[in-house]
């Protein structure tokens, strides 16, 4: 065994958390039962850089029970749940290198540690592991990999276009059952949960500014409205902006929105969606949170440099006092607020995402040799199988098409 | 001039309607002003099978002002507004062959009449014109065409796969600014408007069953909920079914839903989404409406054969009394309820859809010779241009990316 | 028989409408069945000034079947459905004095006609009948009356305070099952239905300004949001204004709202909620509708005087062109849009309201002699009986409190 | 100084929390500034039994700065924030007797301690203090009191009806700005926040059963729907049940709902809204939470007695395994989940409620001698003043009625 974690004695507490997650991950559990029986990944070395949460724990356990040798590092310095790390080490012999509150050096050291296991399949959340392997020419053993996030997929596609990608990667993020449920429903709820745990503010009556109207942004916008907020959307793409307008949201530039917002949440996937200039427009008491993968969407450095004083007023809530006395509140250092100030996605959401992960890992291994060094979508039948497993677990029946109806959809002749 | 319409004396009334539509179609009007100036379609023969509404009128006028010779027939026997037909003939010299209440023979005769103009570009809504041209080998003059609906695109793709499609067709339906706004926002509101005009029922407190959770179905489901209905979704695709569940809707089979629903609206694109067996399950007073393109989604014949008596109790509302006395109400003969019992889509929606149509016709003509006999999507830059024109007309500004932000989205290196 | 209506030959058409209404008024129908059996109003003379709709028809028929002699005039010059008037005269021997499109002289003549029947019980909608009886000292035969609207109740309370009210009046409007469902759910849906029939605009993406956040206003605001509108509320009462804010609406003065709105709907119960000054602020294409009882909420005269030209562009839609070319659209002459441009409340809503009316008329008659000349609320047990009848008709069960639970709610001792 | 708290060294941390609360309580802060200047409560002895949160801290500080001598005990054994208790003692010399995790004996001892200060004005949350004073004849110094909750007001009205109430009490709960915002918006959000902190479940797609459709219940139902839940309402009152139906909710008995719910939240104000029999109907994994004042709404003892095993699986989440293996999760021991598992109401909500408290205490003192031993509503002008202070702090303007409009609302004459 090889590991580096905070406190192994937290294993029992972590085990209870894993059981709680398993109760809410019926699709992945049904896959786990099958893989444990058939052991299709016997002896395969897998390295994963993922948020070390109870749901990731269930995924890692699933791969381990399927026969694999599994190593795990954190995809974010603040997102590790130390009890889960302990349980994975002690109860399931998974090599974990992660703890809550890693510094930047630790973070990269831990990635290096799992790379030293010479992984055959690599799983990533954000693209740092894939980038590390490529920049250091450490991909020779790698059959293929998966990528969990939009951010990571964008990076991998850029690599593919530059002709430097060295192994096939399945973009789990592009599964319908991932991007829709994880990004929209998962982050929609959990980002707000993170804001509420950090601040305990009332959403009703607040002017809430959401930057970015991709799946994450629209999930957040919808939930803020559902809690009584008045929601303003800032978006660069005219198609998305128009959709937001038609959903009844106000749409304007951040330059305008920054003057009136009470709460700002970024989900653009881009840098400085909230800049120093925007912050200078803001009202006393404005709250800034980020729900995007990287902590670049809010100009944190710019804010702190402008502040004449700074303190932590509540856990994850940093007060920055501007020179004229206005107070600006930054949550979770501008890191993704649902993980840093909350517990990340609910297990039910990760059930879908991680069912796709488990089946994609299996797919890569079973199709080794026949895949190109490209970014692949999750195969459609995996996607639909995951949806079906979930509906079954909820006791919900889809409509069964009649033979006549199946026929009908294939016709094109005149007069049908 | 060559035309066949109900009453030319309705032209002034139709003209007022056209002006009203123009006020609500700012994107298309801005295109119209440009095309009128440049006349890029000078002498091109265009034949269209579309719902003859005021919005179609503005599109036809746009093409005429661009220089084309335009013929128009109806894509549905009940959907023609006779005053619009009159105005197009009298004020703009467009050859219209359409009136409200055509019988089946009339319907096909009218299509034949416009085909006799030897059109170079053909515009269709549902695919009947494309099918007619192909079945009768009448496509020799045709440079290309457009198709407005999902239903039509499915038929054309089947033709393409069978290798029989003879000219390029742009699937206007697949433009984001079409399928999103037209199908979701347009039909979402107008289908319910049709139901309310036919019945004047209260939606609040009603159990509303929506068959099909595509863009049309979800638009309807969302609006019914917005009016206080309790909404049940019936859907065969597990991905869509799961999405409906996560939006908070009940999902079940029509077999179950038919026992408890007060109002049923079909939007499946398939036949007999409501069958005789389903109808036999229904409560006294159940109301049936169809929002799909063809009148095949409800088994109208089956219902009428089962009925011991039948009468029109209100315009577009047919009472069918079953043998045990239960009364089942069929709206608009099972034809699409938003057009037959209402006025179809609001002008604002058609503004987007028909801006795509106008620019797609222009694109086909300007790229004649270089397109293959395939189904094409609307070019992305047309789609975005339409969205931008619409936002401009509403005075709404999208966020402008900084140079730094544009750069950022292209990076993939480690540590960004 | 004594009557003055448009066309008696419309009786059969009206009868079908009455049957349709009866299907959707199960609570009133259950009361009707009982009163027809027991005839408790035998020979009582009743005069009513109500909107002559199919639902009023069912109420009038109920009173007639209960044994009363019934006369009916219209409470609004535009709201009469002529086929219903015909059916009530021909099928049920009710004395109707009403037609669609009465002028002001007709309107008052018709009220006079029903007063000439020397009514014992008077039913009113807006207070014009009560005011007429008092101003002309014609109340000597009157045992008591009912009043349907907020507007009327306000007038009657002013009369009570001035010490001039001469008979007891039950404020049906104050029944929970009336004001909540009729004002909020009924007008909420039907006002928008009226706007859509008049204009066929798309609500999604529109800036909708609702003046007044009483029950009617909040019903309209909620439905506009449910259809995708961006809703602004204008309200003078700080408690109501704060509630609107907490529901996520924007709240501002009409002075500000008038500059940005696309659609304005008034529901204040007061005059000139939209004044000439407000109209001068408005955008080209702005649409004005009133959902309040009287046509005083929009300054119609002021608008028309400012207009350099005016025409009816669609039924119930009047275009007023201001001197600088801006076009302002006034719906239904500023009269209540749900009745004038639509069909008024759905039958389901009136079922509750008119069940209260029927039971209140009975209550007044049975308690004649013991009631004071005051404005009374509907007795609580009538209100709850109506709710229970409605839930029963929908097959919905309320929770049954256990004996222990009933006891518990009466305790106050320490340590419970 | 006289106090009994957990740890005085937490005072600085508590002070930061108070500052955070003050930022979000602008209405109370504006009252505080005035009272600090005028000292109208100089020397008055006040005893309060309230949840010891940061918002209560701001209220206590306000009364202290107004000149009063203030003692404070907790109204719930689990709801004290120990850092606030410390700050109130150390920074503001308030006599606090409260800590998180009191046992039943401690709870009553602490109430006794503050009663020993011979209070002149008493403030209560739930009615335990009022009951204690009456049962032990300790009310001789009491000028009057306030009561925060529905539960407490019900108890006090029962006392008034029994003729045993000995001093006037202002039912702060009955202020519009209290019951509407606190019960509906406050508990609506915070109860769900408590559930999410305890469980981190996804609400979207869950079947959520809300028992009770009073202001608290409807707040919860609305927020659950806003988060994507499918909401079922259980309610005994037919008027409320009908309203829930018209809002689009499913309504049924708990007997039926218990078979299908995933999450149950009680807000009935009554005992055993969820009984043993209901629990025996439930699905594996069902979650039970209470949002009502007392921990009597779920039959906690019954559940625990049925369980074959029991453990805390997460903080505030107790797993009870039934004899057939089904797992039922009880949150926060069935105590009110928003306080026990979360932080209670957001400061913004308490701003309104506690502004009413502060002004009501002042009103009682200034009107001493002239009030009867009865339950009084908050005077209307206090209520409106609070709403206005809040709107002002948000920069929101209400409409100003013209002189003409004020006149109009007083008229009743014919033909207006």
Task: State the number of CA atoms in the 13 A half-sphere of A303 facing the CB.
Answer: 29
Mutate to test the interface with B, among C200, C203, C229, C286 (most CBs of B within 10 A): C200
Nearest chain A alpha carbon to B257: A399
Chain A: closest CA distance from residue B9 (Å): 33
Which stretches in chain C have pLDDT values below 70?
Answer: 410-416
CA distances from D351 to C241, D30, D31, D251 (A): 17, 11, 11, 34
Chain C: closest CA distance from residue B352 (Å): 12
Helix, strand, or coil here: D235? Answer: coil
Helix, strand, or coil here: A67? Answer: coil
Per-residue burial over C124-139, b if 16 or more Cβ lie within 10 Å, else e, is bbbbbbbbbbbeeebb
Residue whose token pair is 């250092």: A333
Can you say how many angstroms the Cα of residue D160 is from the centroid of all Cα atoms in its chain? 22
Give the length of chain D.
Answer: 416
Nearest chain C alpha carbon to B262: C394
How far apart are alpha carbons C86 and C90 in whole angstroms? 6
As a whole number of angstroms, the longest Cα–Cα distance in chain A is: 75
Mutate to test the interface with B, among D201, D202, D205 (most CBs of B within 10 A): D205
Nearest chain C alpha carbon to B20: C313
B204 chain-C contacts, CB cut-off 8 A: 185, 188-189
Nearest chain D alpha carbon to A20: D313
What is the bridge-based pairing of β-strands D169-171 and D144-147?
A: parallel
**CB C321 within 8 Å of CB C333:** no
How far apart are alpha carbons D241 and D251 in whole angstroms? 7
pLDDT in tens, B42-67: 999 999 999 999 999 999 999 999 99
| C24:B285 CB<8 A | yes
- Neighbouring chains of D at 3+ CB pairs under 8 Å are A, B, C
How far apart are alpha carbons B184 and A109 in whole angstroms? 50
C411 chain-D contacts, CB cut-off 8 A: 155, 158
| B400:A253 CB<8 A | yes
Instruction: Please state the three-class secondary structure of C54-92 as a single string.
Output: HHHHHHHHHHHHCCCEEEEEECCCCCCCHHHHHHHHHHH
| Residue C410, pLDDT score | 66
pTM of the predicted structure, to 2 decimals: 0.91
Chain C: closest CA distance from residue B196 (Å): 8
pLDDT in tens, B198-255: 999 999 999 999 999 999 999 999 999 999 999 999 999 999 999 999 999 999 999 9
Q: In chain A, positions 319-348, which contact chain C (CB-CB < 8 Å)?
A: none
Q: Which of B228, B245, B247 sits opposite D247 (nearest CB)?
A: B228
Tell me whether D137 touches chain C (CB under 8 Å): no
pLDDT in tens, B263-278: 999 999 899 999 999 9
C225 chain-B contacts, CB cut-off 8 A: 226
Chain A: closest CA distance from residue D401 (Å): 24
Tell me whether A229 touches chain C (CB under 8 Å): yes
User: How many other C-beta atoms lie within 10 A of the C-beta of residue C276?
Assistant: 13
Task: Give the end-to-end CA distance of chain A in Å, rounded to a whole number.
Answer: 67
Alpha helices in C94-206 (DSSP H): 104-115, 128-135, 150-161, 176-178, 187-199
| Residue C175, pLDDT score | 92
Those residues whose C-beta lies under 8 Å from the C-beta of residue C9, and which sit 6 or more positions away, are C86
| Residue C416, pLDDT score | 36
Q: Domains along chain A?
A: 10-178+346-394 (3.40.50.1480), 185-341 (3.40.50.720)
**CB C43 within 8 Å of CB C20:** no
A342 chain-D contacts, CB cut-off 8 A: 200
- With bands split at pLDDT 50, 70 and 90, how would you rate the model's confidence at B411? low
Helix, strand, or coil here: B331? Answer: strand
How far apart are alpha carbons D163 and A376 in whole angstroms? 78
| Residue D416, pLDDT score | 36
Tokens of D220: 């919860």
pLDDT in tens, C108-148: 999 999 999 999 999 999 999 999 999 999 999 999 999 99
D327 chain-A contacts, CB cut-off 8 A: 23
**CB C313 within 8 Å of CB C287:** no
Tokens of B211: 């068959």
Tokens of C246: 């907490």
| Residue A414, pLDDT score | 43
**CB D210 within 8 Å of CB D290:** no
User: How many other C-beta atoms lie within 10 A of the C-beta of residue B366?
Assistant: 10
Q: Which of D24, D189, D200 sits opposite A343 (nearest CB)?
A: D200
Mutate to test the interface with D, among B223, B246, B248 (most CBs of D within 10 A): B248
Tell me whether C196 touches chain B (CB under 8 Å): yes
Q: Which of D180, D253, D398 sits opposite C235 (nearest CB)?
A: D398
DSSP string, D273-291: SB-HHHHHTPPTT-EEEE-
User: How many other C-beta atoms lie within 10 A of the C-beta of residue A48?
Assistant: 30
Q: Which of C225, C230, C245 sits opposite A250 (nearest CB)?
A: C230
Tell me whether C181 touches chain D (CB under 8 Å): yes
CA distances from C346 to C342, C396, D376 (A): 10, 20, 41
Chain C: closest CA distance from residue D88 (Å): 28
ipTM, 2 decimals?
0.89
Nearest to C102 by CA among C63, C133, C128, C64: C128
**CB D79 within 8 Å of CB D340:** yes
Nearest chain B alpha carbon to D246: B205
Would the annotation count B377 as a binding residue?
no
Of all helices (H) and strands (E), which one includes residue A335?
A: none
pLDDT in tens, B6-29: 999 999 999 999 999 999 999 999
Alpha helices in A24-143 (DSSP H): 26-38, 54-65, 82-92, 104-115, 128-135
- Name the DSSP letter for residue D9: G
Mutate to test the interface with C, among A205, A210, A229, A249 (most CBs of C within 10 A): A205
How far apart are alpha carbons B383 and B360 in whole angstroms? 10
| Residue C343, pLDDT score | 84
**CB D249 within 8 Å of CB D231:** yes
A276 chain-B contacts, CB cut-off 8 A: none
Tokens of D274: 């969820």
Q: Which pLDDT tens digits describe chain D residue by residue (416 residues)?
A: 799 999 999 999 999 999 999 999 999 999 999 999 999 999 999 999 999 999 999 999 999 999 999 999 999 888 899 999 999 999 999 999 999 999 999 999 999 999 999 999 999 999 999 999 999 999 999 999 999 988 899 899 999 999 999 999 999 988 999 887 888 899 999 999 999 999 999 999 999 999 999 999 999 999 999 999 999 999 999 999 999 999 999 999 999 999 999 999 999 989 999 999 999 999 999 999 999 988 999 999 999 999 999 999 999 999 999 999 999 999 999 998 998 899 888 999 999 999 999 999 999 999 999 999 999 999 999 999 999 999 999 999 999 999 988 888 766 544 43
pLDDT of A415 over the 50 cut: no
How far apart are alpha carbons A116 and C105 in whole angstroms? 96
Q: Which of B186, B189, B200 sits opposite C346 (nearest CB)?
A: B200
Nearest chain D alpha carbon to A182: D202
pLDDT in tens, A29-51: 999 999 999 999 999 999 999 99
Across chain D, mean pLDDT equals 94
Can you say how many angstroms the Cα of residue B57 is from the centroid of all Cα atoms in its chain? 15
pLDDT in tens, D84-94: 999 999 999 99
| Residue D339, pLDDT score | 85
Q: What is the mean pLDDT of residues B401-405?
A: 90
Tell me whether B226 touches chain D (CB under 8 Å): no
Starting from the edge strand earliest in sequence, which strands make up the sheet with B144-147, in order?
Answer: B95-97, B69-74, B45-50, B121-124, B144-147, B169-171, B375-377
Tokens of D308: 């074959």
| A242:B390 CB<8 A | yes
Of all helices (H) and strands (E), which one includes residue D297?
A: none
């Amino acid at each position: 065994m090889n590991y580096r974690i905070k406190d192994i004695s937290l294993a029992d507490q972590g085990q209870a958390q894993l059981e709680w997650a398993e109760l809410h991950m019926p699709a992945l559990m049904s896959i786990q039962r099958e893989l444990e029986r058939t052991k299709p990944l016997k002896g395969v070395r897998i390295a994963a850089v993922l948020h070390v949460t109870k749901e990731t724990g269930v995924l890692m356990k699933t791969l381990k029970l399927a026969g694999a040798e599994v190593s795990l590092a954190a995809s974010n310095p603040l997102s590790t749940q130390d009890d889960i790390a302990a349980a994975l080490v002690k109860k399931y012999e998974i090599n974990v290198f992660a703890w809550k509150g890693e510094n930047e050096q630790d973070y990269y050291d831990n990635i290096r540690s799992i790379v030293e296991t010479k992984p055959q399949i690599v799983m990533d959340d954000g693209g740092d592991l894939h980038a590390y392997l490529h920049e250091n020419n450490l991909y020779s053993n790698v059959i293929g990999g998966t990528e969990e996030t939009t951010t990571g997929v964008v990076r991998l596609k850029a690599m593919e276009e530059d002709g430097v990608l060295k192994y096939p990667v399945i973009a789990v993020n592009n599964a319908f059952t991932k991007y829709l449920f994880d990004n929209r429903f998962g982050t929609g709820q959990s980002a707000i949960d993170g804001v509420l745990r950090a601040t305990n503010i009332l959403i009703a009556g607040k002017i809430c500014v959401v930057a970015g109207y991709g799946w994450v942004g629209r999930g957040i916008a919808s939930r803020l409205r559902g809690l009584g907020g008045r929601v303003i959307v800032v978006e660069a793409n005219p198609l998305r902006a128009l959709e937001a307008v038609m959903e009844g949201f106000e749409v304007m530039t951040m330059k305008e929105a920054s003057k009136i917002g009470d709460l700002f949440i970024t989900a653009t996937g881009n840098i400085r969606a909230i800049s120093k200039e925007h912050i200078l427009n803001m009202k006393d008491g404005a709250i800034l949170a980020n729900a995007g993968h990287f902590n670049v969407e809010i100009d944190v450095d710019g804010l702190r440099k402008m502040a004449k004083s700074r303190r932590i007023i509540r856990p994850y809530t940093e007060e920055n006092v501007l020179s004229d006395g206005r107070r600006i509140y930054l949550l979770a250092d501008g890191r993704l607020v649902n993980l840093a100030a909350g517990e990340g996605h609910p297990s039910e959401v990760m059930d879908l995402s991680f069912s796709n992960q488990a089946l994609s890992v299996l797919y890569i291994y079973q199709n080794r040799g026949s895949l190109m060094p490209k970014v692949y979508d999750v195969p459609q039948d995996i996607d639909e199988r995951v949806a079906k497993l979930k509906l079954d677990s909820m006791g919900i029946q889809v409509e069964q098409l009649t033979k006549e109806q199946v026929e009908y959809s294939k016709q094109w002749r005149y007069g049908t």
